[in-house]
Amino acid sequence: MLYGNGKIDGREEMDINGKSAIVTGAAGGIGRATAVLLAQRGGAQIALVDVNEAGLAETARLVEVAGARASMHRLDLSDIAATEAWFRAHGDVDILHNNAGVVSGLPQFPDVDAARIRWIVDVNVTSLIAATQIAVQAMKKRGGGVIINTVSTVALGTGFYDAMYATTKAAVMMFTRCCAPLKDECNVRVAGMLPGLVDTPILDTTGAGGKSEWMKTVLANNEACKPEDIAGGVIALVEDDSLAGGDWVAVRRLDGQIAYQWGHADTV
Ligand SMILES: NC(=O)c1ccc[n+]([C@@H]2O[C@H](COP(=O)([O-])OP(=O)(O)OC[C@H]3O[C@@H](n4cnc5c(N)ncnc54)[C@H](O)[C@@H]3O)[C@@H](O)[C@H]2O)c1
């Protein structure tokens, strides 16, 4: 059962209706699709975080059409001090979707300078850990919550084209699994969403001014998901309170069908 409110088959289901949420990387792609679906599922207040203000405005419009209140927040997640300050001010929510992410682009490791390495680590990992830490403290006080981290199937060891990207996503996967005990300790369930290939603007940032040659090969050999496919999986992770902490789901498209691969904190 992917969706539903109340108890289904004896399982506890988080009811998104009336809940507050933060979605990072909400200006497009997976973040926009998740924000809209949270609103369609009855979410009351969605805080949209991104560096892309035009994209944020469009997502806010779509979220409000779907029936939720939207707030837009321009926040550069590579600025860790600003990220910590923002989450201290706004991080008291029921649902946090840590979704923003970047790829290395060109040049790749090892021909990349230290500032660029620091940037991808800070956007993909350091800010996510800071956001989670602050949100968990607030969720503890409100009695619980759900945090979904967007990882990638590269964390399963299936993609080594972009060394720094794969390394940061493996770190997010391990962090998500290490957060498993928070469910029993303070009713905060942290889960991982592992998208396979998804048709979003990030693919156009792999090369110089467009798709890299390796991304063109990946696209030629794999079916791409739609952002909505991934958002559906995020909602499933949010709603299913019977899941253990640290659980994850990989979402891919195979022969036109969406394929789910479920895993647990102690399995990869
Ligand atoms: N598209 C795929 O094939 C794919 C596969 C696996 C995982 N992912 C992951 O999904 C997540 C969402 O990516 P997407 O595919 O929707 O691409 P996307 O480019 O549409 O979304 C990423 C968003 O993050 C925002 N962002 C980038 N740097 C930021 C910063 N410093 N501060 C705040 N926001 C910032 C971007 O502006 C963008 O809106 C990422 O974590 C990505 O790694 C994507």
The structural domains of the chain, ordered by start, are 20-263 (3.40.50.720)
Kindly state the helix (H) or strand (E) to which residue 73 belongs, with its residue range: strand 69-74
49: which 2 tokens? 């975080």
pLDDT in tens, 116-152: 999 999 999 999 999 999 999 999 999 999 999 999 9
Q: What is the pLDDT of residue 131?
A: 99
Q: What is the pLDDT of residue 2?
A: 37
CB 173, CB 248: distance < 8 Å = yes
pLDDT surpasses 90 at 214: yes
Instruction: Centre a 10 Å sphere on the Cβ of residue 105 and count the other Cβ atoms it contains.
Output: 19
What's the 10 CA to ligand 1 centre distance in angstroms?
36
Instruction: Centre a 10 Å sphere on the Cβ of residue 7 and count the other Cβ atoms it contains.
Output: 11
Instruction: Centre a 10 Å sphere on the Cβ of residue 221 and count the other Cβ atoms it contains.
Output: 8
- Averaged pLDDT for residues 77-87: 99
pLDDT surpasses 50 at 253: yes
pLDDT surpasses 90 at 109: yes
3 is catalytic: no
pLDDT in tens, 165-189: 999 999 999 999 999 999 999 999 9
What's the 45 CA to ligand 1 centre distance in angstroms?
22
37: which 2 tokens? 């679906």
Q: What is the pLDDT of residue 160?
A: 78
- Averaged pLDDT for residues 238-247: 96
- Averaged pLDDT for residues 230-240: 98
- Angle at Cα 121 formed by Cα 213 and Cα 263, nearest 5°? 80
Q: What is the pLDDT of residue 121?
A: 98
Residue predicted with more confidence, 43 or 7: 43
Q: What is the pLDDT of residue 5?
A: 36
- Averaged pLDDT for residues 190-207: 97
Closest ligand 1 atom to 199 CA: 1
- On the question of a cis peptide bond just before residue 107, with omega within 30 degrees of 0, the verdict is yes
Write down the H helix ranges in the chain.
Answer: 29-40, 53-65, 80-90, 114-121, 127-142, 163-178, 182-186, 213-221, 227-239
Closest ligand 1 atom to 224 CA: 3
pLDDT surpasses 90 at 12: no
Q: Which of 151, 202, 230 to mutate to test the pocket of ligand 1 (most atoms within 8 A of CB)?
A: 202
Choose among 70, 1, 63, 78: nearest CA to 32: 63
Mean pLDDT of the chain: 94
pLDDT surpasses 60 at 4: no
Choose among 151, 156, 159, 157: nearest CA to 215: 159
- Which residues have CB under 8 Å from 125's CB, separation 6+? 168, 171, 172, 175
Q: For the purposes of burial, counting CB atoms within 10 Å of the CB of 248, is it exposed (0-12), middle (13-18) or buried (19 or more)? A: buried
Strands of 20-24's sheet in order across: 69-74, 45-50, 20-24, 95-98, 145-150, 188-195, 248-254, 257-263
Q: What is the pLDDT of residue 11?
A: 56
Question: CA quadruple 32, 44, 251, 254: dihedral positive or negative?
Answer: negative
Q: Which of 24, 30, 251 to mutate to test the pocket of ligand 1 (most atoms within 8 A of CB)?
A: 30
Closest ligand 1 atom to 123 CA: 31
**Residue bearing the CA closest to ligand 1, atom 25:** 25
Ligand 1: lining residues by beta carbon, under 6 Å? 25, 27-31, 50-52, 55, 75-78, 99-102, 123, 150, 152, 195, 197-198, 200-203
Q: What is the pLDDT of residue 24?
A: 99
Residue 42 φ then ψ, to 5°: 105, 5
* pLDDT-derived band at 266, boundaries 50, 70, 90: confident
pLDDT surpasses 80 at 265: yes
**Residue bearing the CA closest to ligand 1, atom 33:** 50
- Averaged pLDDT for residues 79-100: 98
What's the 253 CA to ligand 1 centre distance in angstroms?
19
| Percent share of the chain, pLDDT over 70 | 95
Spatial separation of the C-alpha atoms in residues 165 and 161, rounded to whole Å: 9
Q: What does pTM read for this prediction?
A: 0.96
* pLDDT-derived band at 9, boundaries 50, 70, 90: low
